[in-house]
């Protein structure tokens, strides 16, 4: 199916495969708004190769808005101490809600002239607060987000948001994992990166998104992959991959994906020294000695 123009939300992209199903109405591909106190953190990220090219070609419309621009007073205060005491500062509701409402309205204005379906969807644009207590991000959630016309990501800072922000905006809350970052910016980048690569045309090769870990029906992680050289530090490549037999290769990859997923799910205690059919890379010489020698001969620092 490679090289065929397929419709995605009413447009045809040559070479794109429908990773995300068509909605059947005309639109740009996706608008993402990022609300943050640190807009400069996104400069390199958004201009980088994949996202930069997709933005330049009009597949993605990604905008960054500074929450502090919506703060009041000469000091443009955005944070304050928590009622009832406790450590740190919280993001005040006023600037965050004003900023989000401005961005929602701006998107609606931009949709004037688009068809009714697009306008309705923009009106329902979900505001997503990035916070460690939110719904856990998985590939399933990423796929769900990538089917939306528009998402609005709000980055928390300090000890988090005043609880009324979520209620006032009818927001969803999203976490990228059970750990605490110093702010939602890096989490927003994770979401943008994972979501945008599912928008047809962004990745160049749509098949690779479909073969990614977690994207297959069983949500399996990918097994080991190899490229040239055929031998590296005494380690070879499994014969099946050099056999040219595509049926056998697909079967082997499926088996390896199952093994890799089981091993990942079992956690580190199950990995210690036990033999496995996934014991790879294939040693062709004395791999450990060669690796040790390579480490010994590698300069530790460059003056
Ligand atoms: N902000 C701080 N930690 C976070 C996390 N784990 N996920 C999303 N946003 C966050």
**Positive/negative CA dihedral, 70, 71, 74, 78:** negative
Smallest Cα–Cα separation from 78: which of 86, 68, 87?
68
Beta-bridge mates of residue 251: none
Pocket flag, ligand 1, residue 131 (CB < 6 Å): yes
By most ligand atoms within 8 Å of CB, the mutation choice from 90, 133, 156 for ligand 1 is 156
Contacts of residue 238, defined as CB under 8 A and 6 or more positions apart, other chains included, come to 226, 252, 280, 282
pLDDT value, residue 212: 79
Pocket flag, ligand 1, residue 36 (CB < 6 Å): no
pLDDT tens digits, 233-274: 999 999 999 999 999 999 999 999 999 999 999 988 655 544
Domains and CATH numbers, the chain: 7-206 (3.40.1280.10), 220-289 (1.10.1270.20)
pLDDT value, residue 123: 62
Cβ atoms of residues 48 and 55 within 8 Å: no
From ligand 1's centre to the CA of 173, what distance in Å?
10
Helix axes 139-146, 185-196, angle to 10 degrees: 70
Q: Beta-carbon neighbour count of residue 116 at 10 Å? A: 9
C-alpha–C-alpha distance, residues 292 and 300, integer Å: 14
Q: Tell me the chain's radius of gyration from C-alpha atoms.
A: 24
pLDDT value, residue 200: 87
Going residue by residue through the chain, which has 303 residues, state the pLDDT in tens, using 9 for 90 and above.
333 343 445 444 443 333 333 344 333 489 999 999 999 999 999 999 899 999 999 999 999 999 999 999 999 999 999 999 999 999 999 999 999 999 999 988 777 777 676 666 656 688 999 999 999 999 999 999 999 999 999 999 989 999 999 999 999 999 999 999 999 999 999 999 999 999 988 987 676 777 777 888 788 999 999 999 999 999 999 999 999 999 999 999 999 999 999 999 998 865 554 444 445 566 665 565 655 665 565 444 443
From ligand 1's centre to the CA of 211, what distance in Å?
27
pLDDT tens digits, 191-234: 999 999 999 889 876 767 777 778 887 889 999 999 999 999 99
From ligand 1's centre to the CA of 20, what distance in Å?
26
Catalytic site positions: 132, 159, 197, 212
Listed in sequence order, the DSSP H helices in the chain are: 43-47, 49-56, 93-110, 116-123, 139-146, 164-169, 185-196, 206-211, 239-242, 246-266, 287-297
Residue ID of nearest Cα to ligand 1 atom 5: 132
> Which tokens sit at 130?
């990035």
pTM for the full predicted model: 0.81
> Which tokens sit at 60?
């993605």
C-alpha–C-alpha distance, residues 27 and 13, integer Å: 13
């Amino acid at each position: 199916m490679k090289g065929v123009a397929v419709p995605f939300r009413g447009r045809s992209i040559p070479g794109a495969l429908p990773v995300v199903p068509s909605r059947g109405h005309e639109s740009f591909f996706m608008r993402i708004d990022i609300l943050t106190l640190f807009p400069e953190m996104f400069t390199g990220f958004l201009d980088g190769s994949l996202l930069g090219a997709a933005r330049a070609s009009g597949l993605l419309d990604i905008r960054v808005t500074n929450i502090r621009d919506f703060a009041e007073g000469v000091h443009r205060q955005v944070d304050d101490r928590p009622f009832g005491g406790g450590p740190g500062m919280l993001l005040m509701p006023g600037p965050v809600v004003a900023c989000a409402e401005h961005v929602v309205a701006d998107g609606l204005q931009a949709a004037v002239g688009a068809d009714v379906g697009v306008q309705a969807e923009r009106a329902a644009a979900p505001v997503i607060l990035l916070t460690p207590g939110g719904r856990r991000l998985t590939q399933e959630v990423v796929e769900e987000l990538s089917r939306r016309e528009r998402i609005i990501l709000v980055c928390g800072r300090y000890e988090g948001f005043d609880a009324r922000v979520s209620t006032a905006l009818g927001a969803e809350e999203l976490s990228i994992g059970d750990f605490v970052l110093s702010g939602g910016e890096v989490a927003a980048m994770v979401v943008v990166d994972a979501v945008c690569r599912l928008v047809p045309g962004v990745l160049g090769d749509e098949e690779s998104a479909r073969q990614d870990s977690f994207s297959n029906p069983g949500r399996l992680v990918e097994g080991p992959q190899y490229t040239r050289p055929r031998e590296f530090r005494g380690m070879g490549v499994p014969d099946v991959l050099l056999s040219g037999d595509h049926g056998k290769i697909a079967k082997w990859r499926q088996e390896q994906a199952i093994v890799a997923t089981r091993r990942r799910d079992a956690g580190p205690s199950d990995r210690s020294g036990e033999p496995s059919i996934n014991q790879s890379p294939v040693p062709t010489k004395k791999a450990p000695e060669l690796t040790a020698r390579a480490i010994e001969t590698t300069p530790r620092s460059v003056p």
